Amino acid sequence: MPLLVQKFGGTSVATPDRIREVAEQVRLRRRSGDDLVLVVSAMGTETDEMLALARSVADRRSGREMDMLITAGERKATALVCMALIDHNVPAESLTGSQAGFITDETHENARILDIRPQRVLAALQGGRVPVVAGSQGVSTSNDVTFLGRGGSDTTAVALANVIEADACELYTDVSGVFTSDPRVVPTARRIGRLSYDEILEMTATGCPKPAMRSVEVARARGVRLHVRSAFTWEAGTWIGEEDPSMEQPLVSAVTHDISEAKITITGVPDRPGIAGALFRRLADLDVNVDMIVQNVSADGVTDISFTVPRRQLGISTQVTRDLGAEIGAGGVSEDTDIARVSLIGAGMKSNPGVAATMFEKLGERSINIEMISTSAIRISCVVRSEDVVQAVNVLHDAFGLAEAS
């Protein structure tokens, strides 16, 4: 009998109606013969509401107390889902992170799982009850309540699926899977049937709903098959697993874009070792999430460095760059907020060097100027003007045949 872990995100359990619908679907799924373990997030925007409450109560907010607060949201949702299940004649048992055996370190607000002791999960299953586990939480080695961070319910689900040897982990959300592009921008965007772990990890983009990065890394490390699907339509979604070496990989699986970044350029940087390291260390110490980095070829002993950062971190990033520039006698620092990133993602690129060339040609044909380029084995990203991004995404989606049924 297949054993599945099903994780329901905040939108899937946002209202009493949604919770009852989840209960009904679980009832039907069990009747079809599957054994289920549920992992539940806090209802709708409850976590945000609790964060706002915390901000209005205290300026300095203890991490330990934030975790005690925030984890109450998942507990509530877990209890309500269980009540609905029992009301649908499905025996069920809610379990807090601690009761489900999640032992974590003491890093409050972003705890790491150290061990899982799923005895109560297994006992519930053996007793014919559906275990409903509160997502994103555990108990620390010093017996305090801990929170795994935003998106941590995905990690709970994947880690639990691994340790109880589930056949797959279903991640329910409000879209029906991962798409070849953002359907709001590319009308012909199509749901992808299958993706590799590496591909989904490259898909950090606007309009691309996807499992939390950390949970995919756990899934890849432990070989847990993921199924991203909708708790609104219940149709089959996108499977994520190992690359299948027996099948030919699609050249390009998706075209993604991101309009949330800005570009900083520092010119006239003396070309000597250690300067780039100093700059990005300072940014990292401020938790600035630097994405693309391009350094031009050195000429006359000086070089230019451009990099992108989240727009909300632009102010501090520019300041840090200017400070360093002054120290090392660089030429100048400039900001550019009118940029967008367009990326091609596809495991098939690894064995096909022509993809990048095609991408640049297609953009060039439309007079879309490429300002930065960055590549990995399975991703090519270009920075373009933000007013060009819709056209760029559509051109590439078309050029690589993504609208056709696979």
Across the strands, what pairs with 316? none
Q: Is 66 in the site for a second copy (CB under 8 A)?
A: yes
Q: Is 65 in the site for a second copy (CB under 8 A)?
A: yes
The binding track of 18-37 with respect to a second copy, each residue x by CB under 8 A or -, is: -xx-----------------
Work out how close the CB of 15 gets to a second copy at its nearest, in angstroms, rounded to a whole number.
Answer: 9
Q: Is 145 in the site for a second copy (CB under 8 A)?
A: yes
Judged by DSSP in three states, 399 sits in helix
Q: Is 326 in the site for a second copy (CB under 8 A)?
A: no
Name the one range near a second copy by CB under 8 A: 16-24, 30-38, 228-236, 363-371: 16-24
Phi, psi of 53 (to 5 degrees): -60, -45
Q: Is 16 in the site for a second copy (CB under 8 A)?
A: yes
Judged by DSSP in three states, 284 sits in helix
Task: Give all strands (DSSP E) within 145-237, no chain letters.
Answer: 145-147, 168-173, 194-196, 226-230
Q: Is 123 in the site for a second copy (CB under 8 A)?
A: no
Name the one range near a second copy by CB under 8 A: 65-73, 240-248, 364-372, 383-391: 65-73
DSSP 8-state code for residue 43 = S
**CA distances for 22 relative to 39, 47, 177, 314, angstroms:** 12, 20, 18, 41
> Are 171 and 211 a contacting pair, CB within 8 Å?
yes
Q: Is 73 in the site for a second copy (CB under 8 A)?
A: yes
- Give the residue, chosen from 5, 26, 36, 82, that forms a contact with a second copy under the rule CB under 8 A: 82
One-character DSSP codes across 340-355: EEEEEE-GGGGG-THH
Work out how close the CB of 133 gets to a second copy at its nearest, in angstroms, rounded to a whole number.
Answer: 12
One-character DSSP codes across 183-208: TTT-TT--B-SEEEHHHHHH---BT-
Across the strands, what pairs with 96? none
Residue 40 token pair: 């539940």
Helix count and strand count (H, E) for the chain: 11, 20
Identity of the residue, 56 or 126, whose beta carbon is nearer to a second copy in the bound complex: 56
Name the one range near a second copy by CB under 8 A: 50-58, 210-218, 232-240, 246-254: 50-58
Identity of the residue, 132 or 159, whose beta carbon is nearer to a second copy in the bound complex: 132
Work out how close the CB of 46 gets to a second copy at its nearest, in angstroms, rounded to a whole number.
Answer: 10
**Amino acid identity, position 214:** R
Query: Of the candidates 257, 246, 217, 5, which has an alpha carbon nearest to the alpha carbon of residue 113?
Result: 217
Query: Of the candidates 5, 2, 219, 42, which has an alpha carbon nearest to the alpha carbon of residue 131?
Result: 5
Work out how close the CB of 25 gets to a second copy at its nearest, in angstroms, rounded to a whole number.
Answer: 15
Identity of the residue, 92 or 378, whose beta carbon is nearer to a second copy in the bound complex: 92
- Give the residue, chosen from 2, 28, 48, 62, that forms a contact with a second copy under the rule CB under 8 A: 62
The binding track of 85-104 with respect to a second copy, each residue x by CB under 8 A or -, is: -xx----xxx-x--x-----
- Site of interaction with a second copy (CB under 8 A): 16, 19-20, 50, 53-54, 56-62, 64-69, 71-73, 75-76, 78-80, 82-84, 86-87, 92-94, 96, 99, 143, 145
